Structure 1
Amino acid sequence: MSSMCLVSLVHRSLLQDSTMHSIPSSSRLRHRLSFEAIGTRWHIDTPTHIPAGAAADIYAAIQAFDQKWSRFRSDSQVSALRLTVGTLALDADEYAMWQLYRQVYDATDSAVSPLVAAALEASGYDAAYSLTRTAEATAAPDWDDALSLGHNSLTVHQPTLLDIGAAGKGLLVDRVASLLSNTIDTYTIDAGGDIYVAGHSERIALEHPDNASFAIGVAHVADSALCGSAPNRRTWADTHHIIDARSGVSTTHIAATWTLAATAMAADLATTTLFFLPPESTQQLIPCQPVVMNTNGQLRYTTNKDMEIYA
């Protein structure tokens, strides 16, 4: 659910979950596979063509993930749960995602919750992207009332709509990376701004949320993932897509967040967590290298070797 600018040090912008543009890759990555999926533009840059079979596996994995988890599809498994109780089977990586979701839910006093979907829809962030509020803001259901997490399943105890947007796209990027690694060891994946770099390094600037020509720092990304989030990328009326699940109301004090982590799922979820926890607490919860910009322009971050911050 994150949305933020990352800027290539070459010349082009990359806007997560908004108007997406590809990042220029290493000169060794001469081939690009581009396609639309899960509501965003994907670019996969590689030194050689991706074999047809590997590409087909990637498309199939994305389609299966979307059909299971997308709240924007009426035929998805999670959409069916808005009408009835039921159980979803979980793969090992899905279980790991839900475990981390629960840890973040507890650490943020339920502010970050996969049960925030009703509040998002009421605000206008619905399947039709109406961007028109249809109901008053309300708190999300309590996790323990609505959900039970098992080692290979998620049980929904009351009809409800789930939204895994804070971590789901990152998890899917990790799955695509795993598939690619079966045939290619050097690549860059850009899934609408969730970036994973393998076998080489990229230097990616962190775009100021109020000035696309200015970078607040640079991330050195190698065999890791970089994600960012900013409310101004998806804003309508007095609302944006980063909502406090305790109230159903959009946050107001953070202008942008960025995280560098070992996996795209971790980086993705950490960018949202930073709207509710300080960098040090987020880093203890999710191993990452975090940067936060407050709405007053103040930067908060932890010292690390892979993030150069121009403070």
Structure 2
Amino acid sequence: MALVKGWQEEASNVVPTSAGCARAQHGGRDDRADALPPLPGPGDHLRCSWSLPATGTTWQVRTRQPLEAQPRAAVTALVEQFERTWSRFLPSSLVRQAADGRLGSGPVLVDLPAGSSRMLDLYDRLYRLTNGRLDPLAGADLVELGYSPDLDFRVRDGAAHHLGATHGRPTWGTTVSHAGDRLRLETPALVDVGAVGKGFLADLVGALLADHGVEELVVDASGDLLVRSSRPVRVGLEQPGRSGHVVGAVEICRGAVCGSGTDRRTWGHGLHHILDAVTGLPVQQVAATWVVASSCAVADGLATALFTTAPQDLARATRGAPGLDYDFVLLRTDGSASVSRGFRNLPAELFTS
């Protein structure tokens, strides 16, 4: 069974379909899609659950046996280190210190935890693949639009004249470089790793637990799922704005399923957290995306990239790229949808009418 099947066809193999009333076919009878398990739906062999606070929300780790104190403590320490480094909401974090000029006026050198270069390398690739439309420095645009570290949700005066690369906001391609785990900013700037960071941390948690002998698990990073299981885990794709209702399902044993949507973090008409970094404005044409890939970081990043880059263009750019095999579902705000050619072979299904 192919668990993660990437784009290996021409870009024209994006399959359009309607995303209206959702129904699924099971054994020759119709079942209401909203009767399927909400996201996530791990197999019942993973009966033990441990919850922990992470990335401003609640994560859940499901395993066969209860996690012992030592691996729980190790995961907690890993999460705390990640947030001390990358949280734009924590005033003492390294990225906040770099943005506020507390590490110098530039060039700013930031020594990051070992292994951070893997996430930075992925951001380099996503920045190029999307022609700069996915950019960690777009965090400054979120602040202008009101999604600031202190969560005041107030659009700044004159924001329209400061948003995006088109108005001169520093960009990842011109302002940021890195050598291994050392990050260099030419001038102080806010690095927001929200497009990849949660998935990257989920991968780190999975690897850490594997080092502690935990061979089967589901790491649910509040909707971004890493799966390592001897039996298929069924994951429901939750309909935007309708908690507990699903529009599709994916079954995997090893891999990741990550979703992005505009309904989770909104604070005004047309304002949400997924931006086109070139214009600095929230994307309006896409409502939700889901990506299946081998790692949570890749799935997380590509789910965001699909908001800013047409599926055909992203498929063309990633074809043959090592580590970037993926399948996806994309729902648009006009009710239409696109899926990758290999999606249904995962196995997976999108419920349509």
TM-score normalised by length of structure 2: 0.79
Q: Which residue of 1 aligns with 2:7?
A: none
Instruction: Give the direction of change, closer, same or farther, for the CA distance of 1:47–1:80 in structure 2 (3 Å limit).
Output: same
Q: Which amino acid aligns with 1:287?
A: D
Q: Which residue of 1 aligns with 2:255?
A: 224
Instruction: Give the direction of change, closer, same or farther, for the CA distance of 1:40–1:212 in structure 2 (3 Å limit).
Output: closer
Do the aligned residues in 2 keep the contact of 1:105 with 1:111 (CA within 8 Å)?
A: yes
> What are the ranges of 5 or more consecutive residues in structure 2 without an aligned counterpart?
1-32, 319-323
Tell me if 1:94 matches 2:137. no
Do the aligned residues in 2 keep the contact of 1:9 with 1:205 (CA within 8 Å)?
A: no
Q: Which residue of 1 aligns with 2:131?
A: 109
Q: Which amino acid aligns with 1:277?
A: T
Tell me how many residue pairs correspond in the alignment: 296
User: SS state of the match for residue 25, structure 1?
Assistant: coil
| Deviation for aligned residue 1:9 | 8.2
Q: Which digits, 9 at most, give the CA deviation of each residue in 1:35-61, with x for residues without a partner? A: 212201011111111121111110111
User: SS state of the match for residue 116, structure 1?
Assistant: helix
- Identity rate, percent: 30
RMSD: 2.0
Cα distance in 2 for residues equivalent to 1:126 and 1:141? 17
Aligned mate of 2:195, from 157, 163, 166: 166
| Deviation for aligned residue 1:232 | 1.6
Do the aligned residues in 2 keep the contact of 1:122 with 1:134 (CA within 8 Å)?
A: yes
Do the aligned residues in 1 keep the contact of 2:133 with 2:277 (CA within 8 Å)?
A: yes
Tell me if 1:62 matches 2:79. yes
Q: Which residue of 1 aligns with 2:277?
A: 245
User: SS state of the match for residue 65, structure 1?
Assistant: helix
Q: Which amino acid aligns with 2:38?
A: S
Q: Which residue of 2 aligns with 1:19?
A: none
Tell me if 1:33 matches 2:50. yes
TM-score normalised by length of structure 1: 0.89
| Deviation for aligned residue 1:144 | 3.8
Do the aligned residues in 2 keep the contact of 1:70 with 1:78 (CA within 8 Å)?
A: yes
Cα distance in 1 for residues equivalent to 2:298 and 2:234? 20
Q: Which moved more, 1:83-92 or 1:285-294?
A: 83-92
> What are the ranges of 5 or more consecutive residues in structure 1 without an aligned counterpart?
1-7, 15-22
Q: Which moved more, 1:126-135 or 1:37-46?
A: 126-135
Q: Which moved more, 1:161-170 or 1:240-249?
A: 240-249
Tell me if 1:134 matches 2:156. yes
Cα distance in 1 for residues equivalent to 2:258 and 2:136? 19
Larger Rg: 2
Cα distance in 1 for residues equivalent to 2:254 and 2:114? 21
User: SS state of the match for residue 258, structure 2?
Assistant: strand
Q: Which digits, 9 at most, give the CA deviation of each residue in 1:257-283, with x for residues without a partner? A: 100111110010011000122334434
Cα distance in 1 for residues equivalent to 2:155 and 2:175? 24
Query: Aligned ranges for residues 1-311 of structure 1 at < 5 Å?
Result: 13-14=38-39, 23-82=40-99, 83=101, 84=104, 85=106, 86-90=108-112, 93-135=115-157, 136-137=159-160, 138-139=163-164, 140-182=169-211, 183-199=213-229, 200-212=231-243, 214-238=245-269, 239-283=271-315, 284-285=317-318, 286-304=324-342, 305-306=345-346, 307-311=348-352
User: SS state of the match for residue 204, structure 2?
Assistant: helix
Q: Which moved more, 1:92-101 or 1:186-195?
A: 92-101
Q: Which moved more, 1:38-47 or 1:285-294?
A: 285-294
Do the aligned residues in 2 keep the contact of 1:201 with 1:220 (CA within 8 Å)?
A: yes
User: SS state of the match for residue 132, structure 2?
Assistant: coil
Q: Which digits, 9 at most, give the CA deviation of each residue in 1:150-183, with x for residues without a partner? A: 2332101101111010000100000000011121
Q: Which amino acid aligns with 2:299?
A: A
Give the structure, 1 or 2, with the largest relative contact order (CA under 8 Å, sep 6 or more).
2
